[in-house]
Structure 1
Amino acid sequence: METLANLESFIRSAECGSFSEAGRRLSVTPAAVSRNVATLERNLGVRLFHRSTRKLTLTEAGETFRAAIVGNLEGLQAAIAGISTGSEEPAGLLKVSLPPTFGTTHILPLLPGFLARYPRVRPEWHFENRQVDLVGEGYDAAIGGGFELLPGLVSRTLAPAHIVAVASPAYMAGRVAPIRPDELAALDGIVMRSLQTGRIRRWSMRDVSGQEVEAVLSQSFVVNDPAAMREAALLGLGVAMLATADILPALENRSLVRLVPRWYCDAGAISIYHASRKLVPAKTRAFVDWVADAFRKNRLAERFAGSLG
């Protein structure tokens, strides 16, 4: 009977194409992974990988074996996790990735209550504008939008990710308020240049009837960070297209006003991501439920919805 360590080392090496990366995901040394795979090959009497200095690739026998065991291995892992975590108190390091503005505005205020309820959890939160590799980088959870749902990852939708046009009351004083998105071009635009593409981000706005109109802002002020866009709009420098989640306090206290209020951009959903629900540690499960419950109690999905005007 093969050990679980040998089988896990084989599956992770097949996924990663590398003993080093598989070792990082399993929290063991590359040498240990290589040794486990070699033991498995010896016991089976077949070579499972073609090895080169750059990459591992499965042999025909290796691919057949991987397909045969991958589902069963997940079941074994789930059974072990169920026994070891079923009555476990949430504890340990909780590594989470969050967008800076959204995270500090809406998630960080939830932490005192969460820690009071689960005092053995030690949060390590990374505020960053990027899509992290949850498994490869060792994150327990990530909050954001548009993450690629790779095998083994699941998402739980929290709220819509809607973008609206805003400006300060001081900037709009004495100016004619636009009625349609294409009229925004007559105003000073605060726009963002993408760090990934180097291009100015452009949006197409829609209304509740489904009609779509492109919103092209003048490039009066260019930045590379949404938080800077928000601050520039608050300073009265012009019009910005911003996520309702990032400017909700400013909209509710009227330090920013929404322009063309019938129109919004749909950027998908804000979700919380974590590893397969079959193997969720108690600390991660508690955090996901805590955040989802807070969104429900505070009606954040409704308040973030640009479609509601």
Structure 2
Amino acid sequence: MEPLNHLESFVQSAEGGSFSEAARRLGLTPAAVSKNVARLEARLGLRLFQRSTRSLTLTEGGERFLAQIGGALATLREAVAGIDTDDGQPSGTLKVSMGQAFGREHVLPLMGGFLARYPAIVPDWHFDNQQVDLVGEGFDAAIGGGIELPAGLVARELARIHVVAVASPAYMQGRKPPGHPSDLAALDTLMRRSSPTGRVRSWTLRRVRGAGGGEGESEVSVELPRPRAIFNDPEAIAHAALMGLGVAMLPMPFVERGLRSGELLRLLPDWYQDAGAVWLYYPSKKLLPPKTRVFIDFVLERFREERFAQRMQVA
């Protein structure tokens, strides 16, 4: 029997009309789909498609072969999907990638409720700040920001993340709170070095919409003297701020707990940075295993109930 991925590549190419569309559905590259189809043709000794630079059409033999395997392949799909269920419940190992601090603070607390609802699923969660090849490394899903979205990958936005200026009450004691971003130059600053580039990230703040009566600057780049300390990890910067070492600009996921508890103070409440969005990534919706589907639904449900998106924004 031919490998299932060869047959799937053929059927999806026939239904989608191109190797690119088949790749999007299957979470592969067009080159991989084309190679699978070519291997199938070589094994059968039959040309299945007429190829041109603009179109992909079934040959007569290809149409006959598609009709012969269509029903059988659907049955195989159902059988494979059934492997991921245990007595009607989703089961299996769920491999998910997520950022270290974000995962510990905002995703790991969901595990108890998730396992109570789906006891046959075994989480295999990878806490790593490096981007992963979701399909190539066999991940069922990933949570993070800025992942390149290749064909076959779906992204659902969890929240837009704002970056705010914070300091500990101990550090601010006896100091005048800044009224404008330029006032930060008079304070000790905790800066972040970009791991990919090695550069120290500058601070550019945006005014909250409607603040200041709509007058004045809407965006300000802050010229800072020599920083008090430089780190390449936002979690380390958050700890340094809690220790009272200076002022930091940090994403809300790293400081929300400290702001709620009073361990950190929000400075410049009319100003923030936009750090982009945090996303939930997973392979194409087609043929999504039950364990992955219920994880996606559970995360979206819980983040919505906890008003995560609203808590991560200040504007």
Shorter-chain TM-score bucket reads: 0.7 to 0.9
Q: Tell me, in whole angstroms, the C-alpha distance in 2 between the residues paired with 1:68 and 1:230.
A: 57
Deviations along 1:231-255, whole A, 9 cap, x unmatched?
A: 0000111111111111111010010
Work out whether residues 9 and 36 of structure 2, in 8 Å CA contact, stay in contact via their aligned partners in 1: no
Q: Which of 248, 272, 275 is the aligned partner of 2:280?
A: 272
Work out whether residues 95 and 138 of structure 2, in 8 Å CA contact, stay in contact via their aligned partners in 1: yes
Partner residue in 2 for 1:204: 204
Alignment of 1:82-93 (within 5 A): 85=81, 89-93=89-93
Aligned to 1:250, the other structure's residue is in SS state helix
Tell me the amino acid that sits aligned with residue 249 of structure 1. R
2:224 corresponds to 1:223: no
Aligned to 1:236, the other structure's residue is in SS state coil
Partner residue in 2 for 1:191: 191
Aligned to 2:89, the other structure's residue is in SS state coil
Deviations along 1:188-246, whole A, 9 cap, x unmatched?
A: 11111111001012232212338111234442201111110000000111111111111
Question: What CA RMSD, in Å, does the superposition of the two structures yield over aligned residues?
Answer: 3.4
Q: Tell me, in whole angstroms, the C-alpha distance in 1 between the residues paired with 2:295 and 2:47.
A: 44
2:29 corresponds to 1:15: yes
Query: How far is the alpha carbon of 1:102 from its aligned partner?
Result: 1.1
Work out whether residues 99 and 128 of structure 1, in 8 Å CA contact, stay in contact via their aligned partners in 2: yes
Tell me the amino acid that sits aligned with residue 312 of structure 2. F
2:254 corresponds to 1:246: yes
Alignment of 1:1-309 (within 5 A): 4-8=4-8, 15=29, 37-41=38-42, 43=44, 61=51, 67=56, 81=77, 85=81, 89-209=89-209, 211-218=218-225, 219-307=227-315
What is the total number of aligned residue pairs between the two structures?
278
Aligned to 2:29, the other structure's residue is in SS state helix
Aligned to 2:286, the other structure's residue is in SS state helix
Tell me the amino acid that sits aligned with residue 40 of structure 1. E
Query: How far is the alpha carbon of 1:43 from its aligned partner?
Result: 4.1
Query: How far is the alpha carbon of 1:37 from its aligned partner?
Result: 3.9
Consecutive unaligned residues of structure 2, counting only runs of 5 or more, are 11-18, 59-65, 211-217
Deviates more, 1:82-91 or 1:141-150: 82-91
Work out whether residues 93 and 124 of structure 1, in 8 Å CA contact, stay in contact via their aligned partners in 2: yes
TM-score by length of 1: 0.78
Tell me the amino acid that sits aligned with residue 291 of structure 2. K
Aligned to 2:90, the other structure's residue is in SS state coil
Query: How far is the alpha carbon of 1:38 from its aligned partner?
Result: 3.6
TM-score by length of 2: 0.77
Determine what percentage of the aligned residue pairs are the same residue. 47
